[in-house]
Amino acid sequence: MTSKIAFIGAGSLVFTRNLVRDLLTFPAFQDSTIALMDIDPGRLAFAKAAVEKIIAAGNYGEVILEATTDREEALRGANGVVCTILVGGLDVFRHDVEIPKKYGVDINIGDTRGPAGVFRFLRTLPAMLDICRDVERLCPDAIVLNYTNPMAMLCRALQGETSVQVTGLCHSVQGTAAMLAGWIGAPMEEVTYTCAGINHQAFYLDFKRNGEDVYPLIREKVKHDPAVYNEEIVRNEMFLHLDYYVTESSGHNSEYNAWFRKRPDLIERYCTHGTGWNPGEYGVIVKHGERMKNEWQQQMEAWRDAPVDLARGGEYASYIFNAAFGDGTLFRFNGNVRNFGLIDNLPEGACVEVPVLASRGGLSPIRVGKLPDHLAILVNTSARCEELAVEGALTGDRRKIFQAIAFDPLTSAVLSLGEIQSMVDELFEANRGWLPQFEDNELVKS
């Protein structure tokens, strides 16, 4: 029996073409149905053309390709679903970083947690719940893989409110592991690790080469090789002081704690001269969005004329689907699941990022135990703020949203409670029309 994989938000073109390419490297999917769905017909047409090019280049003549703006049509009978949606465009999500900046909270990316991440979550959750409720009706046994941020809050809400087997994937786990291995010249096939925490704040609890702890070698490179230190200044400072390496980039992590972005001199010292997402630049994702808004069509046209690389990439999705309804090869990955006996010193039921085993039986999270106590302090704060935000989103309680943001480490390091309240009120006003569940529930004034 052939399988069907649906891509919801297929206009996220890089994800779509790379994940389809990966899927079709597995023989089990070379006679599958690929269903592309997006609400933007123009982006959908480009996605369809990109996948057609991959099918032609790989001689995957038995693949059935569908493209539709009808979500039900795409989901009906699917075995696997990949979700890469964005709710609201640049005109709304720029407020997520520009309003906090006016109050002194200098956000770099703003798609995961803190004031910007919370409001992106509030806008995105209703659409994601609708998608999962469609899955419950149309393909209840499907595995749903979410790539949409904010990962932890969305997965926590979806897993709590629906019966869908859904997990969230972030390439930072395998990407950072490859970076660390490269620093010490270790081939990835010789590397093993245990990584756990929450999305973007997971830590490698051990990192080994052929069974030997190589954290001492990584520490030496970070301390004594300027090129290595300068590649990820924020994360390297965290590693030197906290003793464990965190998964997500310096740009992201600079805004998840109180240490690097609360004063301009700290931003200059630790954030401005790194690489990647330019962690010193306020609102870099807004600038990236402006650029992509103007350039995506040109980039896609250029890609049409470029040769196709059919080599499988490092994203987890194709391996997970192959384990669950392909050839059945077991696959271990780090996924976002609720914490029921997985990490002892994080909140019960919160969304955690832990090792998960994919098999014919579905997705089975693996117990980790305790995080080191000092890491648990940092991660607990973020996880509990996320729990408050999820509860506020599901109940339409503006007060809980305010409190979730009030305890955000960077926000609370910069602002008073009264200032935070004013900022949250302004963010709600900027999002008026996107958050109807809050319209009749005014924030209680102090």
Active site residues: 171
Q: How many CB atoms lie within 10 A of CB 371?
A: 24
Distant-in-sequence, close-in-space partners of 300: CB < 8 Å, separation ≥ 6: 13, 46, 49, 50
**Contact in structure between 148 and 111 (CB atoms under 8 Å):** no
Q: φ and ψ at 198, to 5 degrees? A: -125, 170
Find, among 84, 83, 95, 157, the residue nearest to 120 by Cα: 95
Give the residue ranges of DSSP H helices in 281-433. Answer: 284-305, 317-325, 373-395, 398-406, 409-414, 417-430
Give the residue ranges of DSSP H helices in 184-266. Answer: 215-224, 226-231, 233-242, 250-253, 264-266
Tokens coding 422 = 């004013």
**Contact in structure between 196 and 368 (CB atoms under 8 Å):** yes
**Contact in structure between 204 and 219 (CB atoms under 8 Å):** no
Find, among 369, 391, 309, the residue nearest to 17 by Cα: 309
